[in-house]
Amino acid sequence: MDTVRYIIDDSEQAVFKVHRSVFVKPEILEQERSKIFDRCWLYVGHVSEVRNPGDFRTRVVGGRPVIFTKGADGEIRVFLNSCTHRGTLVCREREGNAKTFRCFYHAWSFNNCGELIAVPGEDAYGPNFDKGHLALREVPRLAHYKGFYLLNFDAHAESLTHYLAGAKEYLDIIVDQSPTGELEIIQGTQEYDIAANWKLLAENSFDDYHVAPTHITYFEYLKDSGVNVAIPKGLLMPRHGLGKALGNGHAVIDNQTYRGRPIAYWMPMYGEEAREEIAQIRAELVSRLGEERAYRAADTNRNLLIFPNLVINDGSSVTVRTFFPLTERRMRVTAWAIGPVGESATARARRLDSFLTFYGPGGFATPDDVEALEVLQQGIATWKEVEWSDLSRGMTKPIEEQLNTDEPHLRAFWRRWNELMQTD
Ligand code: FES
Ligand SMILES: [Fe+2]
């Protein structure tokens, strides 16, 4: 790749292209691991997942196994899930509540604050053996924004607040949907692999150009249910813009609702009985937030990408989705539903139904996207002959004429990616 540029970005000529080698070359992934995943803030979990002291979740973040946990001292930490003795995973459960983590290999035990508290046959070690220096290692940086915890493997990274830039406003809108400001991850996790490069899902998450053709089954279903589906064709939304760059590679597709967000529009699939409650939820938003903000919370939806790999789909339900490359041609996706603490059982049921039947790996939307991405990955095996992908839609238009099918936000992702890949 030394002689080939990754992107061509020429505003004057309205040309924006991405070189397809970035989706297929293992050495590109190697560079991404050190220049992106070792330097950017990466989502690890939500405060609601570790409510009680001892609660833990094990995850793989940025290629490292980690333990996201709350200690007996009430502090939330992320440990590298690696025994300080020889390196074994000290915790092999997906989640639970534990006072101690006992390594199964030689049985060293650590408390949930990370301290090494027991070593079988400790007297066999010499005088320099110091348990105090053998605590579980914490990730270099951990911070949260309104309960969303992100970690950074770069000790010198900028602060999370600074890093999030314009994405904070969109996280605020999601948090505002809870009358108490509190959200919770709802039990149950979706996890699946896609045989495609991870960056293709970043693009796909907020690419509205594909929506009408790829998701035709869903629109036909809506039509059959008597829903007006005329809106998605190049909808202008001047009040809040459409595809928007939010700084640092973060971006959002921000749309008028057309796909049946429960708190904005009653749709036939929610059942007649949902009408009243949805109206009440909206009325509460108006009285608490005012008309303008309630309109944004309830009547618009958004797919937010926090660079590089956290997507929040705030639509007919709210999903938190992250994905990591396993290889240059395969990614692992993990998704959770999130909702207001204390919402009614019926609202929660509608939320989970949407999480499953729309956003889920067997739902209306995701199988189409998985198919699209895998077929794309197969097609770009031709990258040596057909070298460039085009991302220039809307490049010549002034911002007030942009449509949701234009691509300024996709270009923002790629510009940031390219900038990081040029660093040493
Ligand atoms: S590797 Fe953990 S106790 Fe030996
Ligand atoms: Fe899609």
Closest CA to 384 of 11, 21, 14, 70: 21
From 67, 79, 81, 86, mutation site for ligand 1 pocket: most ligand atoms within 8 A of C-beta: 86
Q: In the prediction, which pLDDT does 79 show?
A: 98
Over range 36-48, report the average pLDDT.
Answer: 98
Query: How many angstroms separate the alpha carbon of residue 209 from the centre of ligand 2?
Result: 9
The Cα–Cα gap between 335 and 205 comes to 13
If one compares 99 and 264, the residue with the highest pLDDT of the two is 99
| Ligand 1 atom index nearest CA of 88 | 1
Rounded to 5°, angle at Cα 263 from 258 and 265: 40
Over range 51-73, report the average pLDDT.
Answer: 98
Q: In the prediction, which pLDDT does 332 show?
A: 98
Which band of pLDDT confidence, cut at 50, 70 and 90, is reported for residue 185? very high
- From 2.40.50.100, 3.30.70.920, 2.102.10.10, 3.40.50.1010, which CATH number describes the 47-152 domain? 2.102.10.10
Rounded to 5°, angle at Cα 405 from 285 and 356: 55
Over range 65-72, report the average pLDDT.
Answer: 98
Over range 398-402, report the average pLDDT.
Answer: 79
Over range 231-250, report the average pLDDT.
Answer: 70
| Ligand 1 atom index nearest CA of 87 | 1
What the block records as the tokens of 396 is: 């010549």
Q: Ion ligand 2 — residues with CB under 5 Å?
A: 369
How far does CA 257 lie from the centroid of its chain?
A: 21
High-pLDDT (> 70) share of the chain, %: 92
Q: In the prediction, which pLDDT does 258 show?
A: 54
pLDDT 10s digits, 349-395: 989 988 998 888 988 889 999 999 999 999 999 999 999 999 999 99
Residue 10 gets the label, from left (phi > 0), alpha (psi -120 to 50) or beta, of beta
Q: Could you tell me if 137 and 152 are in contact, meaning their C-beta atoms sit under 8 angstroms apart?
A: no
Over range 114-125, report the average pLDDT.
Answer: 97
| Ligand 1 atom index nearest CA of 103 | 2
Q: Could you tell me if 301 and 261 are in contact, meaning their C-beta atoms sit under 8 angstroms apart?
A: yes
Asked whether the predicted pLDDT for residue 99 surpasses 70, the reply is yes
Query: How many angstroms separate the alpha carbon of residue 322 from the centre of ligand 2?
Result: 15
Instruction: List, in sequence order, every beta strand (DSSP E) within 98-161.
Output: 100-102, 109-111, 116-118, 141-145, 148-152
Asked whether the predicted pLDDT for residue 231 surpasses 70, the reply is no
Over range 109-122, report the average pLDDT.
Answer: 98
The Cα–Cα gap between 161 and 209 comes to 31
The Cα–Cα gap between 330 and 197 comes to 6
Strand partners, 15: 10
Nearest CA to ligand 1 atom 1: 86
User: H-helix or E-strand containing 304?
Assistant: strand 300-306
From 92, 108, 129, mutation site for ligand 1 pocket: most ligand atoms within 8 A of C-beta: 108
- Work out the mean pLDDT of the chain and round it to a whole number: 91
What the block records as the tokens of 102 is: 């006992």
Over range 146-157, report the average pLDDT.
Answer: 98
Asked whether the predicted pLDDT for residue 127 surpasses 60, the reply is yes
Q: In the prediction, which pLDDT does 268 show?
A: 63
Residues 6 or more apart whose CB falls under 8 angstroms from that of 103 comprise: 83, 85, 88, 90, 109, 110
Q: In the prediction, which pLDDT does 263 show?
A: 42
Nearest CA to ligand 1 atom 4: 106
Q: Could you tell me if 246 and 307 are in contact, meaning their C-beta atoms sit under 8 angstroms apart?
A: no
Number of Cβ within 10 Å of residue 280's Cβ equals 13
Number of Cβ within 10 Å of residue 34's Cβ equals 11
Number of Cβ within 10 Å of residue 147's Cβ equals 18
The Cα–Cα gap between 190 and 200 comes to 19
Which band of pLDDT confidence, cut at 50, 70 and 90, is reported for residue 117? very high
Least confident of 39-43, 216-220, 332-336: 216-220
Closest CA to 40 of 153, 140, 145: 153
Asked whether the predicted pLDDT for residue 1 surpasses 50, the reply is no
| Ligand 1 atom index nearest CA of 106 | 3
Over range 152-160, report the average pLDDT.
Answer: 98
Same fold, 47-152 and 167-421: no
From 88, 92, 119, mutation site for ligand 1 pocket: most ligand atoms within 8 A of C-beta: 88
Least confident of 8-12, 57-61, 206-210: 206-210
Which band of pLDDT confidence, cut at 50, 70 and 90, is reported for residue 278? confident
What the block records as the tokens of 27 is: 């050495």
Query: How many angstroms separate the alpha carbon of residue 192 from the centre of ligand 2?
Result: 16
Over range 316-327, report the average pLDDT.
Answer: 95
Over range 286-291, report the average pLDDT.
Answer: 95
User: What residue spans define the domains of the chain?
Assistant: 47-152, 167-421
Asked whether the predicted pLDDT for residue 234 surpasses 80, the reply is no
Q: In the prediction, which pLDDT does 243 show?
A: 85
Asked whether the predicted pLDDT for residue 106 surpasses 90, the reply is yes
CATH class of the domain comprising 167-421: alpha beta
Query: How many angstroms separate the alpha carbon of residue 13 from the centre of ligand 2?
Result: 29
Q: In the prediction, which pLDDT does 229 show?
A: 60
**Which ligand places an atom closest to the C-alpha of 82?**
1
